Amino acid sequence: MRLSPDDIIFWQYGFLKLNATIAFTWGLMLVLAVGSRLVTRKLSKGPQRSRWQNLLEIVVTAINKQIREVGLRGAENYLGFLGTLFLFVATASLFTIVPGYEPPTGSLSTTAALAICVFVAVPLFGIEERGLRGYLRAYLKPTFIMLPFNIISELSRTLALAVRLFGNMMSGTMILAILLTITPFVFPIAMSALGLLTGMVQAYIFSILATVYIAAATQAREPEPGPEG
């Protein structure tokens, strides 16, 4: 039994490998990019809209609303990044209904890449919003003793993001594979329905955690500069 879709190798040339993770990621990217391009090609402002435009509008407004509810001002700035994270993770788990497909998020490399994106984006957004000094000063709050702990928490939450998504997705496919050997017909269907639900919840959690981290880094809760000492 294999742990991740990394082990399915479609094509190999020397040390260059095209494994299932990369291939399915490309497939997802293609579906997302071409799909949204096709939908947004002819947008209408009138009362008569295509059903796909309605779908995309619902998705975009919902993500926007969620970002705003977390307390991030200027949700449109972050919509591109956070929306992409959500849509990628969500479609990656939605496509499990296609036979032969394995979610690329079930590989630690994919989830680590996504978590590193968050790890890099949080300081970038923070510096953009508050300036370098303002952002770096947040590490010294409440006192400078907390500096190492703040840095550790920054690293450990990245690890947690990656391993959480990986563990959930991997456990879904693993349970399916184990159940297929024990009770071949009915239970795997129920478990894959449950897998769809957990996939959606994980996509929501991944993007909402990224939103919370960005909100914590960008919010300028500058206290009044009191007397030093």
155 counts as binding another protein under rule CB under 8 A: no
Query: Least Å distance between CB 171 and another protein?
Result: 6
Contact map string, positions 199 to 218, toward another protein, x by CB under 8 A: --xx-xx--xx--x------
67 counts as binding another protein under rule CB under 8 A: no
Alpha-carbon span 29 to 11, nearest angstrom: 19
Q: Which stretch binds another protein (CB under 8 A): 27-35, 136-144, 165-173, 179-187?
A: 165-173
Query: Least Å distance between CB 6 and another protein?
Result: 11
By C-beta, is 112 or 130 nearer to another protein? 112
Interface positions, 20-39, toward another protein (CB under 8 A): none
Q: Which amino acid is at 15?
A: F
Q: How many residues bind another protein (CB under 8 A)?
A: 22
Token pair listed for 152: 């550790």
3-state SS class at 154: helix
Chain position carrying tokens 């303002």: 134
The answer to whether the beta carbons of residues 217 and 126 sit under 8 Å apart is: yes
177 counts as binding another protein under rule CB under 8 A: no
Query: Least Å distance between CB 127 and another protein?
Result: 25
E strand or H helix that includes residue 193: helix 186-218
The answer to whether the beta carbons of residues 169 and 105 sit under 8 Å apart is: yes
3 counts as binding another protein under rule CB under 8 A: yes
Token pair listed for 94: 């939605």
Q: What are phi and psi of 12, to 5 degrees?
A: -140, 135
Q: Which of 160, 180, 190, 220 binds another protein (CB under 8 A)?
A: 160
By C-beta, is 69 or 222 nearer to another protein? 69
Query: Least Å distance between CB 181 and another protein?
Result: 15
124 counts as binding another protein under rule CB under 8 A: no
170 counts as binding another protein under rule CB under 8 A: yes
Alpha-carbon span 4 to 104, nearest angstrom: 8
Alpha-carbon span 81 to 118, nearest angstrom: 9
Q: Taking Cα atoms as reference points, which of 149, 128, 129 lies closest to residue 140?
A: 149
User: Per DSSP, what are the bridge partners of residue 113?
Assistant: none
191 counts as binding another protein under rule CB under 8 A: no
The answer to whether the beta carbons of residues 53 and 39 sit under 8 Å apart is: yes
Interface residues toward another protein, by CB under 8 A: 1-3, 66, 69-70, 160, 163-164, 166-168, 170-171, 174, 201-202, 204-205, 208-209, 212
